Structure 1
Amino acid sequence: MEAGAVAPGTMLGALAESARLHQPVSTVVMAEALATRKDVAEAQARHYGAMALDRAAHPPDPALSHLLPANFCLAHGVLPWIRIGDTLVLATARPEHYDDLLELLPPDIGPVVMAVATEADIHDEIAQRHGNAMAAAAENWVREEDSCRDLNTSSPAATALAILASLICLSLLATAPALLFTIGLLLALGSLLVSQGMKLAALIAVPRRLASTRHTLPPHPPVVSILVPLFHEQEIARTLVKRLSRLTYPKSLLDVVLVLEAEDTVTRTTVDRTALPPWIRTIVVPPGRIRTKPRALNYAFRFTRGAIVGIYDAEDAPAPDQIDQVVSAFDSAPAKVGCLQGILDFYNPRANWLSRCFAVEYASWFRILLPGFARMGFAVPLGGTTVFFRREALEEVRGWDAHNVTEDADLGIRLARYGWRTEMIRSVTREEANNRFWPWIKQRSRWLKGYVITWWVHSRHPRRLWHDLGPKRFFGMQALFMGTILQFAFAPVLWSFWLILAGLPHPLDPWIGRGGILALTVIFLTAEGMTLLVGMAALARSPHRALFPWVPTLFAYFPLGTVAIYKALWETLRNPFFWDKTQHGHSSPDTPGADIPPDREL
């Protein structure tokens, strides 16, 4: 106020908001854009009688980088800046906590004096000093026994086993093709029956009546950090800021981080041209041996301060009160609920046939199957967005596997193995349906490749998996992952029976009589009926009831997954860590406002 940066009446409101949220008034002033970060730092320096440091005008001494670990500096918002004689000038972005910080400093650090700097300057200097080491650590943060990073290496025993299996299959193909085909049929039928049984169980488990979505913030609401990884996003930045600005959670408690790759000049240029509100900032991930979304998340996580950490994608449009619901749900949930998964939906379901079927599939997954699996106590594979974690849960499981191309599904299983529970919330995020044929195939092949990798990682030590999950969740995990993989991979075996309807000879004609054909027909029709039933039930719980007539066309939609699985299996052998990026911004919302989910979901 003395500097004329904030009017007294405005500051009175900021003080009231500070008291309501139990946050420093400096945080409120910056979040509400009442003053710049530099103005606040200078005012804090005058208030505390300390120096105000600016990285451009007073560069820090990199020779002091060894005095405090990078993670300690990030956690407490401090940085050893310079020495004046024997005295260390310790810059802080949180001067109100400086006295508490002194008790945590190592005893041999010597005499210290406080200075004030912006958190952005402190983060930038830490990234410059330690960025490469932190990026390397982000690639290997997950414990080796929990990671797939050794997938492209194989032991002599594994190589010999693979060669033996291949030789057996080739021998059967040459000498007993009917037997080989029969084995394939049994695997296809088994996976089909298991998959449909899981769908039926989930449908029965989902409650018929949904509880109220009322929520109340706790007396001391926490800071929530949101990570938004961006890569090759040229058109989405301005729209993303607009959609995130609708969030009603207090901006003083919201820490949104746009995660950019150092070599991605397209997105960095786009973001630089976009006016970001004070509660949105950027983190640039240094280059490394791999470039994946989970690696970027692991790196950026170290720069966050929220007790709750969430993930959004570039094209996401969350419900305005979504963060309020998340905070309220965590506050009332048991301490071992480490993750909350929201509902994903689309704002362009009527763009074409592919988007309509995609919307039906998403409705089935997020409104019937996942809630049903969670209610039955199974380990829940997460979605890649609208997922929120307690910070301590992420730290215990060590974040995301940087080498897994479906880091979300893997993390869901790993959380369960470490004793954390995942629950579903009814808050919706709408995003863009991928409705172009080849991009859809590429996206689905990445998901299925990740399913293959995730199943292998967690099943390579079955005794340990059994011990961690228990019998029910062990079999649930196997049924979900292995069932999905086998169902898509062996679907052509089931399609071959169309030859019989066409009056053409079938390889199993000598083995299957009229009774066998009748039994197979009943199984196929029952499976299709279950798919229709789940699709209809899911749409009845969504705002997309107009898509009911399109549910029967799913019989032509799911075979696309078979194309994707063969691409996925080939990539698993040739390039398991390749991240086939999905491009966004090609399909606009169906109608104005279609990207604004309601606060109250059906």
Structure 2
Amino acid sequence: MRLKIPLGRIIVAEGWAQPDDVLKAMSAQTGVQIADLAADPPAPELAGLMPVGFWLENDAVPWMRVGETVLVATPRPDRFDAIRAALSAADVTAVPVLATEQHIHSALARLFSAQLAEAAETCVASRLSCRDWKIASGLPGVLLAVLSILLATFFPGWGLAALVLAALFTLFLFATLRVAGFAAHMARKPRPRAKQVPCAAPRPAPSPSISILVPLYKEREIAGALVRRLCRLTYPKALLDVILVLEEKDDVTRAALDGVKLPHWIRVIRVPDRNRLTTKPRAMNFAMNFCRGEIVGVWDAEDAPAPDQLERIAARFAEAPPEVVCLQGILDYYNPRTNWRARCFTIEYCSWFRVVLPGIARLGLVVPLGGTTLFFRREVLEELGRWDAHNVTEDADLGVRLCRAGYRTEMVDTVTHEEANFRAWPWIRQRSRWLKGFMVTYLVHMRSPRRLLADLGLKRFLGFQAFFLGTLGQFLLAPVLWSFWLLFLGLPHPLGSVLPPQVVTALAGLIVLAELINIAVGLTAVASKQRRFLIPWVPTMMLYFPFGVIAAYKALWELAIKPYFWDKTRHGQAAEDHAEA
């Protein structure tokens, strides 16, 4: 394997030497002195010599002024000529000093904290961001809701009929999407194996460097387990750049990490506190400034990725056409036996990530990304504006934006195990955040439906409607459909005297058909040997999803009063089931 990286980084990453040892050897070789940025921080007044982007691009920081000369800290004195030339053009005489990359990045994060934090919150173009969301932004929807309430009050029959039609329409949308994804998944053809042609073996291309962002927030229980899981990775450590992203005032996680020895390929970036916005996408946007990988990935705190996951990602990106800029891995759970809710959560994820989502991707529809085990070509992620810092489902939003820009997402056959949220109220809180994010994402991209249609094309536009309207409608309007159990059981119903028996029968048939589709998808998803024990639990999913109705109305309320509130999911509550993972 060819590695286009400095020898010193390889030595440190493999644990053969400490960063200070390499720095001393480099100093002895080049005659450049070493700067202790921790004991003697860079002078703030020098920060304005060049824009922050210049220092980040060159992995350098202005340290101190000595007479007419500015000492600039760098980990690579062999590349200092470009820095010297740029500063010379600004009438500054620069001399290099040595410092570790970690110390340089920490210094830059302190010097430019306000500027970088503001940029992290405004990366995405205003027209595609929800940061300007106000209750007034949803005024048309509020007026529609008021009119619906008035209609239901003064004309209850007509009002309920309208809600029934809306519920049936969203049920049809989402069922159609699931059927399309299911059919595309079942019709898939395995990729043909390359023919063996006797010839001289080509020289292998250099493996890409990969940066992984792991946002952490108040993770008291997960720190040690996280590092153990990351240490299972088999990708060359010299090419691996794992960044643990912490909020500046998160003393809980910092204290947990203080008790863990981090390998040199794992580092910590602290995100400055500003405006009390502490969302995952904001933290990732800030940390992106310090990534050094050609590929950028995201894992969550509780993730347990497959050891060879990054090799698979690098290989697929090498083969994929340029328009494939995102690879989404399969998410699964390592604690499906904890209780009934954990079993149902596992069935739900298997259905989505192993059946429906691969089918949607194969059909070329909009792929709402899954939040973790995501990998991007870095230059395109920068082009797209990274993540919307104010959107609590930044993953789904980014999936829409990259599709609007003409790029594609592919599913890749590698699994990351997570912890199933198996307690009732934490499950509702987590699901409410997701549903609130779906609401915001839908409203943002539907600000201009005509432009969205032009960007996506008709097929993807309809797929977008089916996912977002279908998902939200199914949860918000589920009680309307549940009310028809009164009719099915022969009890009085407000529409009992209005609807002919044939319509009631057709309605019952549609609801049963949708449930049969869900069962078929679920049975297919858990048919593998490792998940076959879940088959008897698939029919119970109809009792699992009603919890989502509570979450949906909680999300609707929060959308009005605190749209940017990130309802934190607590991790580390379940042990790994190694037999399943």
TM score, norm. by length of structure 1: 0.92
Aligned-partner Cα distance in 2 for 1:546–1:322 = 26
Equivalent in the alignment of 1:73 = 55
Aligned-partner Cα distance in 2 for 1:200–1:555 = 18
Quote the sequence identity (%). 50
Aligned-partner Cα distance in 2 for 1:446–1:457 = 16
Aligned-partner Cα distance in 1 for 2:81–2:303 = 41
Whichever residue aligns with residue 256 of structure 1, its letter is V
Equivalences, count: 572
Q: Are 2:384 and 1:397 aligned?
A: yes
Equivalent in the alignment of 1:179 = 158
Equivalent in the alignment of 1:332 = 319
Q: Following TM superposition, by how much is the alpha carbon of 1:511 offset from its aligned partner in structure 2, in angstroms?
A: 1.4
Q: Which runs of 5+ in 1 are unaligned?
A: 1-16, 596-602
Pairing 1:476-515 to 2, within 5 Å after superposition: 476-515=463-502
Q: Following TM superposition, by how much is the alpha carbon of 1:102 offset from its aligned partner in structure 2, in angstroms?
A: 4.2
Equivalent in the alignment of 1:6 = none
Match of 2:112 among 115, 130, 146: 130
Aligned-partner Cα distance in 2 for 1:27–1:483 = 49
Q: Following TM superposition, by how much is the alpha carbon of 1:56 offset from its aligned partner in structure 2, in angstroms?
A: 3.5
Q: Following TM superposition, by how much is the alpha carbon of 1:483 offset from its aligned partner in structure 2, in angstroms?
A: 1.0
Aligned-partner Cα distance in 2 for 1:224–1:444 = 31
Contact kept, 8 Å, 1:32 with 1:251, in 2: the verdict is yes
Q: Following TM superposition, by how much is the alpha carbon of 1:193 offset from its aligned partner in structure 2, in angstroms?
A: 1.4
Distance 1:58 1:441, change over 3 A: closer
Aligned-partner Cα distance in 2 for 1:371–1:137 = 34
Aligned-partner Cα distance in 2 for 1:112–1:502 = 84
Equivalent in the alignment of 1:64 = 46
Contact kept, 8 Å, 1:213 with 1:426, in 2: the verdict is no
Instruction: Say which SS state the counterpart of residue 375 (structure 2) adopts.
Output: strand
Equivalent in the alignment of 2:65 = 83
Equivalent in the alignment of 2:222 = 236
Pairing 1:425-504 to 2, within 5 Å after superposition: 425-504=412-491
Contact kept, 8 Å, 2:84 with 2:95, in 1: the verdict is no
Aligned-partner Cα distance in 1 for 2:351–2:141 = 36
Q: 43-52 or 54-63: which moved more?
A: 54-63
Distance 1:163 1:419, change over 3 A: closer
Q: 104-113 or 529-538: which moved more?
A: 104-113
Q: Following TM superposition, by how much is the alpha carbon of 1:425 offset from its aligned partner in structure 2, in angstroms?
A: 0.0
Pairing 1:254-269 to 2, within 5 Å after superposition: 254-269=240-255
Q: Following TM superposition, by how much is the alpha carbon of 1:385 offset from its aligned partner in structure 2, in angstroms?
A: 0.5
Q: Are 2:235 and 1:249 aligned?
A: yes
Q: Following TM superposition, by how much is the alpha carbon of 1:57 offset from its aligned partner in structure 2, in angstroms?
A: 4.3
Aligned-partner Cα distance in 2 for 1:449–1:327 = 34
Instruction: Say which SS state the counterpart of residue 21 (structure 1) adopts.
Output: coil
Listed one character per residue, the Cα deviations across residues 430-459 of structure 1 (whole Å, up to 9, x for unaligned) are: 010000000000000100110000000001
What is the alpha-carbon root mean square deviation over aligned residues?
Answer: 1.9
Equivalent in the alignment of 2:183 = 204
Instruction: Say which SS state the counterpart of residue 62 (structure 2) adopts.
Output: strand
Q: Are 2:108 and 1:93 aligned?
A: no
Aligned-partner Cα distance in 2 for 1:104–1:204 = 58
Instruction: Say which SS state the counterpart of residue 112 (structure 2) adopts.
Output: helix
Contact kept, 8 Å, 1:318 with 1:429, in 2: the verdict is yes
Equivalent in the alignment of 1:54 = 36
Q: Following TM superposition, by how much is the alpha carbon of 1:162 offset from its aligned partner in structure 2, in angstroms?
A: 5.0
Equivalent in the alignment of 1:281 = 267
Whichever residue aligns with residue 440 of structure 1, its letter is W
Q: Are 2:540 and 1:553 aligned?
A: yes
Match of 1:45 among 21, 24, 27: 27
Q: Are 2:367 and 1:409 aligned?
A: no
Contact kept, 8 Å, 1:345 with 1:429, in 2: the verdict is yes
Q: Following TM superposition, by how much is the alpha carbon of 1:169 offset from its aligned partner in structure 2, in angstroms?
A: 2.1
Q: Following TM superposition, by how much is the alpha carbon of 1:345 offset from its aligned partner in structure 2, in angstroms?
A: 0.3
Aligned-partner Cα distance in 2 for 1:256–1:153 = 39
Aligned-partner Cα distance in 2 for 1:145–1:402 = 14
Q: Following TM superposition, by how much is the alpha carbon of 1:493 offset from its aligned partner in structure 2, in angstroms?
A: 0.8
Aligned-partner Cα distance in 2 for 1:241–1:296 = 20
Aligned-partner Cα distance in 1 for 2:136–2:227 = 45
Whichever residue aligns with residue 524 of structure 1, its letter is I
Q: Following TM superposition, by how much is the alpha carbon of 1:504 offset from its aligned partner in structure 2, in angstroms?
A: 1.2
Q: 107-116 or 420-429: which moved more?
A: 107-116
Contact kept, 8 Å, 2:88 with 2:94, in 1: the verdict is no
Q: Which runs of 5+ in 2 are unaligned?
A: 195-201
Q: Are 2:523 and 1:528 aligned?
A: no
Q: Following TM superposition, by how much is the alpha carbon of 1:59 offset from its aligned partner in structure 2, in angstroms?
A: 3.6
Aligned-partner Cα distance in 2 for 1:419–1:498 = 45
Listed one character per residue, the Cα deviations across residues 341-394 of structure 1 (whole Å, up to 9, x for unaligned) are: 000000001111001111110001001111111111101010110000011111
Aligned-partner Cα distance in 1 for 2:203–2:440 = 39
Aligned-partner Cα distance in 1 for 2:278–2:39 = 34
Equivalent in the alignment of 1:8 = none
Q: Are 2:258 and 1:272 aligned?
A: yes
Pairing 1:287-298 to 2, within 5 Å after superposition: 287-289=273-275, 290-298=277-285
TM score, norm. by length of structure 2: 0.95
Aligned-partner Cα distance in 1 for 2:108–2:259 = 25
Q: Following TM superposition, by how much is the alpha carbon of 1:95 offset from its aligned partner in structure 2, in angstroms?
A: 2.4
Instruction: Say which SS state the counterpart of residue 303 (structure 1) adopts.
Output: coil
Distance 1:370 1:569, change over 3 A: same
Q: Following TM superposition, by how much is the alpha carbon of 1:166 offset from its aligned partner in structure 2, in angstroms?
A: 4.0
Contact kept, 8 Å, 2:355 with 2:525, in 1: the verdict is yes
Instruction: Say which SS state the counterpart of residue 267 (structure 2) adopts.
Output: strand
Whichever residue aligns with residue 521 of structure 2, its letter is V
Listed one character per residue, the Cα deviations across residues 453-494 of structure 1 (whole Å, up to 9, x for unaligned) are: 000000111111111111111111011101111111111111
Equivalent in the alignment of 2:355 = 368
Q: Are 2:182 and 1:195 aligned?
A: no
Aligned-partner Cα distance in 1 for 2:65–2:286 = 29
Instruction: Say which SS state the counterpart of residue 455 (structure 1) adopts.
Output: helix
Q: Are 2:123 and 1:141 aligned?
A: yes
Equivalent in the alignment of 1:600 = none
Q: 167-176 or 349-358: which moved more?
A: 167-176
Q: 505-514 or 385-394: which moved more?
A: 505-514
Equivalent in the alignment of 2:211 = 225
